[in-house]
Structure 1
Amino acid sequence: MIFRLHLIVSHNFPQRRMLPQIDALSLSPVKVFSIFIFHLLIYLNKAESQVVGPHQPVIALVDDDVILPCHVESAEDVTAQILEWTRSDLNPRFVHVWRSGQDLVNTRNPSYRGRASLFINELKRGNISLKLSRVKLSDEGTYECSIPLMEKKYFVNLVVASDAATSPVISLSGIDKNRGGVVLQCESAGWYPEPELLWLDAEGNLLSAGPTETLRGPDDLYTVSSRVTVEKRHSNNITCRVQQRNTNQRRESHIHVPEDFFNILSSSPSVTDTSPVSLALCIILLILSVVVLVRRKRKHIKTNRRPKDHIGDFQVSTDEDREKEQLNTKLENELQDEKKRNVEQEAKLNELEKKNTEILNQLQQEKETLEELKKQLESKNQELSDSISELNREKSMRESEINTIRDQLESNKQEVHFII
């Protein structure tokens, strides 16, 4: 019976064959049974313990703190275990390492130093969750939470979103005479991950719009824009909504298109182009139409005057004629004043447009200069980061080899002690 117990222990734990062989016949039955029970408990505990975490991705905003949940299901004390948080797409891949009761700071990836930590007091209850501080866009990815000696691990997916998204800006882009509608454009910037853009009417129904144009800037943030043709049959209240489903972020803006605008379109000449030139042409035509209507009104007033009575060489005017003449004069003066105001406003608009153009040109030049400086700085930082990464990689490999040998010796020492 003693001999059979010895075979069972050796079979279930082949990794201990390097230990000195002990003759089971030289040990008492009580000692052999105790050794068997001890190893059996370890084996059962190892089989029952599970490392678990969230089933859904963890969502975090830039610059916020986030916790990546991970724990041992049996609430086992893991203070003395080797705990590792890693990302396979990094080099070095270590985000946080806990070994021999302390943090191994030098083995971490440089981008996580000072930002990743464990809850030390919770390790005794099997909680090995990782806290990330000041989250960055580059932190997004799949993290592996593992206990190497237990051969247990779990994967946690982190999704990082930007909170710098701007409210959509709706503008008039042109006119589509064929469809009898106006073309609206919507644009929103500062999004991450990439969002979707929707056009809705007053009842919340989706409008058929053109494809969404997406632009990713040097800061990895997305800018989206889209155009839609609004027809008279649609409700006048239109909504542009930009949303990110994974992070539940949403921004939207509204615009009201007056019904009179469609009436003006229906009476204006045929214009099918939606370019700024055609839009300006439509506005000019609208102004000319107003001027023509005013002139017709003035002519109508003059033709409706009562005929004047003539007696010889003298003209006889009634009181009613004098009142009409005064009214006409007043209307003419008001029209002249309105024309002057329009000319002044147009001159101011031209001046403002000129200043805006100058400011935009200046900003563009400054932006190009800053981008060039940024590229130079990034290049230097990359060179320095590569050098540091290479040194840390060599150091990490050496420390890992030393720690592995140390852990193996310690484990062998403890096993020999328990067997003896």
Structure 2
Amino acid sequence: YTLNPHLVSSVSQHALGGVVEVNEGTESVLLPCIDSGTPPEDPLLIWTRSDLSPNSVHLRRENGDDLKNQNQRFRERTSMNPDALDTGNFSLTLRKPEQDDGGNYSCSISDGIEERTVKHIHLKVKVGQQEVEVIEGSGSVVLPCRTSADLPEGTSVEWTRPEPEFMMVHSSSNQRNQDGFYSCRTEMSKDFLRTGDVSLTLRNPRDGDGGRYVCTVHRDQDVLRDTVVLKYVQKGQSIRL
């Protein structure tokens, strides 16, 4: 069928697809969907996953969410910005992602008759996390994180700590936001675009460095995440093998 003119968008086919990776146990994951078109009258914002029955993940009408036909596995786990229809930001937040949440999600807009897909997202939920131990007095420790080689120009990498409060540990593009606790102590390979090795070297590790680190790679339309847990072992403590 032909789309209504007001439903036609300039979104390229390439922009329709994206990959989001997250570790199981993360507090939430964002499935991005941004639309630059003008919404129709009485618009419906529709998130679906085709392999499920019912396939409804989240439905937003002009007067709010309509979740009566939502697949029960997503009950009380999905949310969208209240002003999504005004801003064109149709992104979906999925809380407490589990391995079974992995799959192909579609974000679309409809006038109740015709539907236009804005974005396809492939969500990968990874089980388990890497653990690294470092002994007090060590000169440095490497937090491993790898992705595909030959990354496109413009790819950026962020290392963060989500708790006890959010901290920017290292950014490949803007170190001005780095937390002072890590100042002059972090380094990534300058060749990471070619190799895909986005591991972080942390110099002079100290007691406060122990905890969970998140490596996030922004590659074109993709957001790839991995988690590393650093265990700081004080001298005299037994190392758990």
Q: TM (normalized to structure 1)?
A: 0.28
Q: Choose between structure 1 and 2 for higher RCO, CA contacts under 8 A separated by at least 6 residues.
A: 2
Q: Normalized per residue, which structure has more helix? A: 1
Q: Tell me which structure has the larger Cα radius of gyration.
A: 1
